[in-house]
Chains A and B, each alone.
Chain A
Amino acid sequence: MPLVKGSKSQPGGGGSAPDRAALDSPDAESRWTAARALGDDVDAVPALAAALGREDVPRVRGAIITALMRIGDPASVEAILPSMRSPDAGLRATAIEALQALPEAVAPFMARLLDDRDSDVRLLATELARNMNASQATRLLCDLIEREQHPNVCAAAIDVLTEVGTPAALPSLENCALRFASTPFLPFAISVAIARISGAEGR
């Protein structure tokens, strides 16, 4: 019979003190294992944040962000935020994925992020409202589109409003349509958002 009952290989293990030090290892594999072991260690956030700042292997970066995501406290959010500014599109996307899953911890940072000098940061920050409650997300995003000059940032906000926006968003959306009436795409996007919101609420 070719079927052989295998046995589990090496013993698992690893405590947390050795793991934090291993975040610093010259060997990527050790750093990977260390990051994965620290997702339930609230005290590891400073070490994880420092490791994230210097890590350039994408897989290890991802594991560090997963660990921070699982810890999910305000310090973890602060540790992930700088990655929103990275020139690396993959790192930015991973950061947003993680932050999006932490709506309560991210909430205190939203006003500041949506007011950032960098339009790319404002654009990415709109995604973070997607998992917030509808009224909160609507308020934040409407405040944004009322004053936002950059059409792509508005477009991103409107995409989120299409999913979560309440009727309170309608006046801001209509104003936005007027301001950007002669640009491509935005009038289309706003008309879809308005139809989606109106159709979902007013019967």
Chain B
Amino acid sequence: MDDPKVGASPADRITPEEVQRFCEFLYRRTGMSLTEGKRYFIDRRLQERIAATGSLSFQAYFSLLRADADHEIEHLINSFTVNETYFYREDHQLRCMTESLLGAIVSRKKPGGTVRIWSIPCSTGEEPYSIALWLMENWPKVDDYNIEIAGSDIDTRALKAAAAGIYGDRALMRLSRDVIDRYFRPVADGNHQIDEGLRNSIEFTRANLVDPRDVAQYRDFDLIFCRNVLIYFDDASRRQAAENLYDCLRPGGYICLGHSESMSRISPLFRVARFPDAIVYQRPEADNG
């Protein structure tokens, strides 16, 4: 008779109670809700992480996870979410920007006034360039205002790549042929480089979102895209980053988070604002603390 333990890894079978412990932890920490139907998927991902961390049991892994040893929470969340960056990613937020947010933002400005938008982290530039492209293609009032778009990241190599503006097919996969032809030119190795005018119009800077001194000089933003970074921070850093973002916004300014993220797990500083295309967060207009 086969010994069921021979050749079996210690976490070959994760019990339903262990899955429940894990799902409850993940929900409490991130807001991500994993349904029963995804059971097979959960088991697979958990087993991968248990093996990757060299844990001898689910319980050992769970202790490691709770203590966030070696940034395991980041690895775990990455294994449960898709993290590619590409142009027009989460375009419902870009649509929300042009359909809802900008109307409110410019209602408080004179014609010719300045709209300030920040992408942080901007990574290799897909997000700030997407904002620029989307505005030019979709906002009827784009010529009525000065639009300042800033892109910041803690990674200087990513910033260099952003400034260079060279992308492969995968990054451009959501863009129409027409948009690519008008705003990009082909360069070596089958890549495309975004238009020089666009490259020169975005301010790329290095900044650490958690350090109040670093971000003190970023003021009066009308809209901030801060997607898929806060979810990875520890408790203190999340609070601090939220306080910094609040400070960098104008009263009434908006923040967009990543699709798996919610201010409910981050900070009470912002008002929940629901629009047809997205839920975003708003710094209160009147500042009563």
A83 at the interface (CB under 8 A from B): no
B240 at the interface (CB under 8 A from A): yes
Segment with Cβ contacts to A, from B17-25, B36-44, B89-97:
B17-25
CB pair A198–B234 under 8 Å, yes or no, is no
Interface bin, chain A: 35 or more
- Smallest Cβ-Cβ distance to B214: which chain A residue: A12
Cα–Cα distance between A195 and B244 once the two chains are bound (Å): 43
A-B contact pairs, 22 of them (CB 8 A): A1-B197, A2-B135, A2-B144, A3-B147, A3-B197, A6-B150, A8-B217, A11-B217, A13-B213, A37-B213, A39-B240, A62-B269, A63-B243, A97-B235, A98-B236, A101-B235, A134-B59, A196-B20, A199-B17, A200-B15, A200-B58, A203-B13
Contacts A1-B201, A12-B217; A58 near B289 (Cβ below 8 A)? yes
A133 at the interface (CB under 8 A from B): yes
CB pair A200–B18 under 8 Å, yes or no, is yes
CB pair A2–B268 under 8 Å, yes or no, is no
Q: Name the interface residues of A1-29: CB closer than 8 Å to any CB of B.
A: 1-14, 28
B171 at the interface (CB under 8 A from A): no
CB pair B236–A4 under 8 Å, yes or no, is no
A171 at the interface (CB under 8 A from B): no
Q: Which of B198, B200, B243 has its CB near the most chain A CB atoms (within 10 A)?
A: B243
Given contacts A10-B217, A11-B217, A12-B215, 16 further A-B contacts (CB under 8 A): A2-B144, A3-B136, A6-B150, A11-B216, A12-B217, A14-B213, A59-B269, A63-B243, A69-B239, A101-B235, A131-B67, A133-B63, A163-B24, A197-B17, A199-B18, A200-B15
| Number of CB contacts from chain A to chain B under 8 A | 136
CB pair B289–A10 under 8 Å, yes or no, is no
Q: Which of B13, B67, B144 has its CB near the most chain A CB atoms (within 10 A)?
A: B67
B74 at the interface (CB under 8 A from A): no
Bitwise, B203-220 to A at CB < 8 A (1) or not (0) is 101000000111111111
Q: Name the interface residues of B30-59: CB closer than 8 Å to any CB of A.
A: 58-59
Contact surface of B with A, Cβ cutoff 8 Å: 13, 15-18, 20-21, 24-25, 58-59, 63, 66-67, 114, 116, 132, 135-136, 142-150, 197-198, 200-203, 205, 212-220, 234-236, 239-240, 243-244, 246-247, 267-269, 289
Contact among B143, B205, B213, B247 for A8, CB-based, below 8 A: B205
Which residues of chain A come closer than 8 Å to B217, judged between CB atoms?
8-12
Contact among A8, A10, A14, A134 for B63, CB-based, below 8 A: A134
Contact among A32, A131, A196 for B17, CB-based, below 8 A: A196
- Smallest Cβ-Cβ distance to A8: which chain B residue: B217
- Smallest Cβ-Cβ distance to B197: which chain A residue: A1
- Smallest Cβ-Cβ distance to A58: which chain B residue: B289
Shortest Cβ distance from residue B29 to the other chain A in the assembled complex, whole angstroms: 11
Shortest Cβ distance from residue B211 to the other chain A in the assembled complex, whole angstroms: 9
Shortest Cβ distance from residue B205 to the other chain A in the assembled complex, whole angstroms: 7
CB pair A101–B236 under 8 Å, yes or no, is yes
Which residues of chain B come closer than 8 Å to A7, judged between CB atoms?
203
CB pair A6–B235 under 8 Å, yes or no, is no
Contact among A5, A36, A72 for B148, CB-based, below 8 A: A5
Cα–Cα distance between A165 and B20 once the two chains are bound (Å): 14
Cα–Cα distance between A98 and B267 once the two chains are bound (Å): 12
Q: Name the interface residues of A129-159: CB closer than 8 Å to any CB of B.
A: 131, 133-134
Q: Which of B147, B197, B289 has its CB near the most chain A CB atoms (within 10 A)?
A: B289
- Smallest Cβ-Cβ distance to A65: which chain B residue: B239
Shortest Cβ distance from residue B93 to the other chain A in the assembled complex, whole angstroms: 19
Q: Which of A11, A36, A100 has its CB near the most chain B CB atoms (within 10 A)?
A: A36
Contacts A1-B197, A3-B147; A37 near B15 (Cβ below 8 A)? no
CB pair B212–A36 under 8 Å, yes or no, is yes
Bitwise, A29-59 to B at CB < 8 A (1) or not (0) is 0001100110100000000000000000111
